Structure 1
Amino acid sequence: MTTTEQVTVTVTAESMSSMLERQRAAFVADGPPDVALRRNRIDRLMALVLDNVDDFVDAMGRDFGTRPKQGSLFTEIMGMISVIEHTRSHVGQWMKPQRLMRPARMFGLRAEVEPTPLGVVGVIGPWNFPLNLVVLPAVAAFAAGNRVMIKMSEVTPRTAELMRRLSAEYFEQTELCVVTGGADVAAEFAALPFDHLFFTGSPSVGVLVQRAAAANLVPVTLELGGKNPVVVGPGADMRRAATRIAQGRMINGGQVCVCPDYVFVPAARIDAFVAVARETLQAMFPTIVANDDFCSSVNEANFERVVGLIEDARAKGARVESVAPAGESLPDPGTRKIAPTILRDVDDSMLIASEETFGPVLTVRPYEKLADVVEYVNARPAPLVTYWFGPDDDDFRSFVRQTRSGGVARNDFAAQMIPSAAPFGGVGRSGMGAYHGKAGFDAFSHYRTVVGSDLPFTITGRAAPPFPLTMRATTALALRIAHRRTHRRLSRLRNR
C-alpha cells in the first residue's frame, strides 16, 4: 500500500468522546507543559510535515485531480514555516505572567495575570488547504499548552488519511489525535465538549459548527470567507494592478478564501483593465486541459457549482469572457477545469453577486466615485480581506477608515498575511477570532488573574456590614470627586 492510499478507519461519536476524555485526563494529570515541551511538540509537528513533503504534495495532487506541485509547496508548506518559527521563538515570552500594581508588592499585595492552557482544542480543517490550515492552528494550540484533536476534511481523503497515519508516528494520541471521516463524523466532532473549537470553512457550515458548540458552551474561532472586494484606485498603475489581480485570482484555481472576488475599476479605464487581465491570463495558461500547473476544481460538486454561477450570470445578461486557449473545449468535466473567466455587467439578481465564487472567475465593475464603492462594500457582509491597488494616499486611507474587513492588502495578493506576527481572521460573517503570532497563543489561552494579599487589613471586606460613618463619608467624597472630574472633561470637550 502506498502512503496515500485510503484505508477504512471506523470513527464513532463514542470513540471520539473517549479520546477527548483521554486527552483531558492526561492534560489534568500532567499539568501545564513547560516551554521545552511546547517547543518539542511544535518541532515534532514540523518534522511530521517536512519529513513527508513529497507524500503530502502527491496526496494533495491526487485529491484535487490536478494541482501544481510548486503551488502546493509554496502555499501549503513554505507558507506556514515563518509563522511557526515566529511562534516557537516567542512562546517563552508569551507564557510569562504579567505583574500588576508593582508598587503595592512592597506592602504585601501581589497581583499577576497568568496565561494558562485551556485543555483540549478541536480543529476542523477545510479542503482547499488541507494541510496548512490544520497545522497552523495546532501549532498555536500547542504553544498555548493544549492537547489537540483534528478532524481532516473528507473532500481531500488521501491527504486526510496520510495525516492520520503519520500523526501516530510522531505523537502519542493523548497529545495529538487526527480523525478522518465524512460529514456525519464532522458533525459529531463539532458537538464534542472541547475546551475550544477552531473551524475553517464556509460561513454556511460555520453556522452549524457554532450551533453545535453552543450546546456545550464551547468557545469557537471561525475562520470563514466571503466576497473579497478589490478597488483599483484613481492613482493606480493599471498594468501592475490588472496583472497582480488576475494572478491572485488564479492561485489554487481560485479556491482560496482570500482570493480577489470582484474588482471596482474607474469606469474610463475598465477596458484597459480587462485587456491587461486577459493578456495576463493567456500568458499564464497557453494550455489548460493538459496543463499540470492549472489547478482543477477539487471535486465534481464544486466544478458544477462554479459553472452554474457562470451560466446563471450569462442567462441574466452578464458579459461572459472565457479566456480559453484556442482549440480547447472548456469547461471540461473530465479534468474538472474551468477556463479563467471575466464577468462584466453583473447585477444583484445574479447568484455570483452574493455567493463566494471559489473558482477561476473574476467580476469586474465600473465606478465613478469612490463614495459609491464604499457604499456598495458596506451594504454587504464584511469580507475577509479588502484589496486596494494604488498609492498610499488620502483615497486609500479614507477607504480603510470607512470600510470593515478582516484585513486590508494594498498592491499585492494576501499582503496582510506577510508579517508572521500579524493576526489573521475575519470579522462579522467572514469570521470570529484570529490566530497567527500571539493572536493564536491568546486564542487558545485563558488569562487567569491571581491576586494575593498579606496586608494586615482587608480591602474588599469593607463591603460587608456594619458600615461605619467614616466609610459613608469617604464614599460620598469619592463620588463627588469622580462626578466633578467627569463633568469637567465633558465641558472641555463641548468648549472645543
Structure 2
Amino acid sequence: MTITSGPVTEVAAAELQRLLDAQRAAQAADPIPDAATRRDRIDRLVAAVLEHSQELAGALEADFGSRPTTTSMEIDILGALQSIAFTREHFEEWMQPTEVPGGLGGVIPTTVQHRPKGVVGVIGPWNFPIVLVFAPAVEALAAGNRVMIKFSDMAPRTGEVFARAVASRMRPEEVVVVGGGLQTATAFSDLRFDHIFFTGSPKVGRLVAAAAGKNLVPVTLELGGKNPAIVAPDADIAGAALRIAGGRMLNNGQVCLSPDYAFVPEASKDAFIDAYKQAILTFFPTFIDNPDVVSIVNDANYARVTGLIDDAKAQGATEIVIVPDEEKDRLPAPDSRRLPPTLLVDVPTDAKVHDEEIFGPVLVLHTYANVDDAIGYAAAGEHPLSSYWYGGDTDDFRRFVLNTTSGAVSRNDFALAYSNDEAPFGGAGMSGSGAYHGKAGFDTFSHHRPIAQSDLPDALIPNLVPPITAERVAGVEAMAVGATAAAVARIKAREG
C-alpha cells in the first residue's frame, strides 16, 4: 500500500474551539457516564485501532523511512492492549464512591465521589505516536471523559490514518483526532480543557504547561531525561551489557526510557565494551540495508544526534561505531537517516552530549573506582524518567535507590516499572509530573470530590463567627497551650 502525505494542514483555532464546545456540551448532557457506556467507548476505540493496524504500521514505516512492521505492531499498536485490558477489568470498581472516616470525630459522614473531569486534551509525541495517545485516551474514557487528541505532526501519514480510524468508530463528541503543526499545537494548548496530558520533550513540555497555566488547566507531563545505567561491582558484565544494549537500541534509541549513559567499574571497562559490541552485532549483524533497522525520524533529529557525536569527538572523546567492518565507510547514511550504534568513551565533562537527552543509538560510557561516585553523579543531575541498576539487591543498590530520584527504577532489565499496570508511571522534576497506567491513570483523569453531610440538630458554623465570647477566647487559649505542650513533649521523648 502506498501512503502519501502532503504538507501539514493546520487546524484553525475556531475549529478546535468548536470541537471542544461539542464535547463539552455532550459531557454536560451525560456528566457521569455509566460503566456500560464507558466500556462501549473503550471497546470501540480499541476496535478502531486494531481494524486499521496494517495500514497504521505501513504509515509508520513511511513516516520514519524505515521501521519494521513487527516493531510497530508490538509496541505502537498491540503494546497498549495488556494495560487496556487491566483498566477495562477494574475501572468499574474504581468508579464507586469511597467511604472515608467521618469528620469531626466521626459525626460528619463523608464519601469521595470519583467523577470525570470533563474534556481531556491528549498531546502525543512522534517516537511512538499511536500507543502514547491511545493508552492515555483509554484511561481518560475509563474515567468517564471525552477526549481530543493532538497527533504529532512529525508522523503526518500515521496521523491521517489514525484520525480516520478513530472516526470510523467514535463520534467526534466522544473522541476526536486532529493533526496540524506548530500553529495547531499552540492553539490546542491554549484551549480550556479540564485536563491536558502531554508526552514529549521537556522543552515543549514547558510551553504546554505555560499555556495551560494561563487557563489554570491541570497538566500531566510525561517527559524524558538522562537515564543512568549503573553496572554494580557484583554484576554479570556480559549480561548487563546485553540488556543495556537492548534498551539503548529499541526503536534505534528513540525511546524516553532508554539509558543515556552507563557507569561500569574501571577494571571492567574493556570487558563491557567487548560485550556491548557483541550484543549489538547479535541484534544487527548488518546495518546499512537491514530491514529491521529503524531510521532516525527526520533530518533535523539526525543532524542533532550526529552533532552531539561530533562535538564529543572534537573535545577528545573516543567514538566506537558498532557495525560490520565492511559497512563502516558507508555509515552514517544521511540519505536514509541510518545512524549506527555508537559508544562514546572518555567523554569530556563539557561535551554537549551530557546536557540533553540523546534520543538516538548512542551510549556514553563512564567508569568508576568507587560505586558511590557513580551514584553521586546520577544524584547530582536532573531527575530522569528511569534509572537502571545492574547487579544484586545489595546495600549498594539500596543506597542508589535512597540517594537518587527518578520516575522509576528498574534492576537488571529494561523498563520493568513501565510494564506493571499496578504501579503508577510518570516522571519527577524535569522528567515530568503526574502519572498514569491503571488506577493511576483513572485517578489522573478523575476529580475526587468529597461529599460531607450533617444531620446534627445544631449547626457548626455559629461556633466560628461573632460574637467572640470570653468562653471562646479561653477555650482557644487552652487548646493552644495544650497542643504546644504535646508537641514539645513528643520532641523531648525522642531526644531521650
* TM, length-normalised to structure 2: 0.96
| Count of matched residue pairs | 493
Residue 44 of structure 2: aligned partner: 44
The residue type paired with residue 478 of structure 1 is M
Name the counterpart of 1:485: 486
Partner of 2:160: 161
Do structure 1's residue 409 and structure 2's residue 406 form an aligned pair? no
Change (3 A) 1:141 1:3: farther
What is the percent sequence identity of the aligned residues? 47
Which stretch has the larger CA shift, 366-375 or 225-234? Answer: 366-375
Secondary structure, aligned partner of 1:32: coil
* Structure 2 residue aligned with 1:461: 462
Whether the aligned pair in 2 keeps the contact of 1:254 and 1:358 (CA below 8 Å) is: yes
What SS does structure 1 have at the residue aligned with 2:261?
strand
Q: Give the counterpart letter for 2:93 in structure 1.
A: Q
Residue 373 of structure 1 corresponds to which residue in structure 2? 374
2:103 touches 2:110 (CA, 8 Å); kept in 1?
Answer: no
Residues 476/163 of structure 1: CA separation in 2 closer, same or farther (3 Å cut) = same
- Residue 10 of structure 1 deviates from its aligned partner by 5.5
Alpha-carbon distance change, 344 to 459 in structure 1, aligned in 2, over 3 angstroms: same
In the alignment, the residues of structure 1 paired with residue 177 and residue 3 of structure 2 have an alpha-carbon distance, to the nearest angstrom, of 15
Taking the aligned partners of 1:47 and 1:236, their CA distance within structure 2 comes to 44
Instruction: Tell me if structure 2 keeps the 8 A contact 1:374–1:403.
Output: yes
**8 A contact 2:31–2:118 mirrored in 1:** no
Kept after mapping to 2: 8 A contact 1:148/1:175? yes
Q: Which residue of 2 aligns with 1:419?
A: 420
Q: Which residue of 1 aligns with 2:222?
A: 223
State the match for 1:66 in structure 2: 66
Conserved in 1, the CA contact under 8 Å of 2:49 and 2:166?
Answer: no
Uncovered stretches (5+) of structure 2, i.e. residues with no partner: none
Aligned CA RMSD, in angstroms, stands at 1.7
Q: What do the CA deviations read for 1:140-186 (whole angstroms, capped 9, x no partner)?
A: 11111111000000101111001111111111101111001112111
Normalised by the length of structure 1, the TM-score is 0.96
Q: Is the 8 A contact 2:31 2:116 kept in 1?
A: no
Mapped partners of 2:465, 2:381: distance in 1? 52
Alignment partner, residue 55 of structure 1: 55
Which stretch shows the higher mean deviation, 200-209 or 460-469?
460-469
- Counterpart-to-counterpart distance in 2, 1:96 and 1:106: 21
Letter in 2 for 1:146: N
Aligned runs of 1:389-404 on 2, under 5 Å?
Answer: 389-404=390-405
C-alpha distance in 1, partners of 2:304/2:52? Answer: 33
Deviations 1:293-318 (A, max 9, x none): 11110111111111111111111100
Matches within 5 A, 1:117-156: 117-156=116-155
Q: CA deviation at 1:458?
A: 1.1
Q: Is the 8 A contact 2:49 2:165 kept in 1?
A: no
Aligned mates of 1:414, 1:423 — CA distance in 2? 13
Q: Deviation string for 1:67-108 (max 9, x for gaps)?
A: 12222222223321111111111111111112223599996x
Once residues 436 and 82 of structure 2 are traced to their aligned partners in structure 1, the CA distance between those partners, rounded to angstroms, is: 14
Hey, what does 1:211 align to over in structure 2? 210
Could you tell which deviates more after superposition, 380-389 or 78-87? 78-87
- Deviation, structure 1 residue 453: 1.0
Change (3 A) 1:106 1:485: closer
Residue 89, structure 1, aligned to residue 71, structure 2: no
In structure 1, the residue matched to 2:189 is 190
Letter of the 1:333 counterpart: P
1:15-414 aligned within 5 A: 15-101=15-101, 109-328=108-327, 329-414=330-415
SS in 1 for 2:312: helix
Q: Contact between 1:4 and 1:161, CA under 8 Å: does it hold in 2?
A: no
Aligned residue identity for 1:152: F
Structure 1 residues 325-334 or 194-203, which shifts more? 325-334
Displacement after TM superposition at 1:478 (Å): 3.1
Deviation at 1:287, TM superposition (A): 1.3
Do 1:229 and 1:262's aligned partners in 2 also have CA atoms closer than 8 Å? Answer: yes
Change (3 A) 1:241 1:15: same
Aligned-partner Cα distance in 2 for 1:105–1:55: 60
1:433 corresponds to 2:434: yes
Work out the CA distance in 1 between the residues paired with 2:289 and 2:29. Answer: 56
- In 1, distance between residues paired with 2:389 and 2:133? 29
Matched-pair contact (CA < 8 Å) for 1:151–1:178: yes
Which stretch of structure 1 is more off in the superposition, 151-160 or 3-12?
Answer: 3-12
In the aligned structure 2, how far is the partner of 1:171 from the partner of 1:3? 26
Q: 1:215 to 1:106 in 2, by over 3 A?
A: closer
Q: CA deviation at 1:422?
A: 1.2
- CA positional deviation for 1:432: 1.0
State the 1:34 CA deviation. Answer: 0.9
Distance, in Å, in 2 between the alignment partners of 1:235 and 1:333 is 41
Whether the aligned pair in 2 keeps the contact of 1:123 and 1:134 (CA below 8 Å) is: yes
Amino acid at match of 1:252: N
Taking the aligned partners of 2:93 and 2:472, their CA distance within structure 1 comes to 43
Instruction: Give the C-alpha shift of residue 474 in structure 1.
Output: 3.7
For 1:356 and 1:182, the matched residues in 2 are separated by 23
2-side partners of 1:213 and 1:494: how far apart? 47
- Distance in 1 (CA, whole Å) between partners of 2:440 and 2:344 is 37
Does 479-488 or 373-382 show the bigger shift? Answer: 479-488
CA separation in 1, counterparts of 2:491 and 2:3?
67
Instruction: For residue 207 of structure 2, give the secondary structure of its aligned residue in structure 1.
Output: helix
Q: Alpha-carbon deviation of 1:337?
A: 0.3
Per-residue deviation, residues 366-416 of structure 1 (Å, max 9, x unmatched): 011122112212221110011000011111011000001000011001111
Cα 1:180/1:279, change in 2 over 3 Å: same
Check the 8 A contact 2:385/2:406 in 1, yes or no: yes
Deviation for aligned residue 1:484: 2.5
Deviation of 1:213 after TM superposition, in Å, equals 1.1
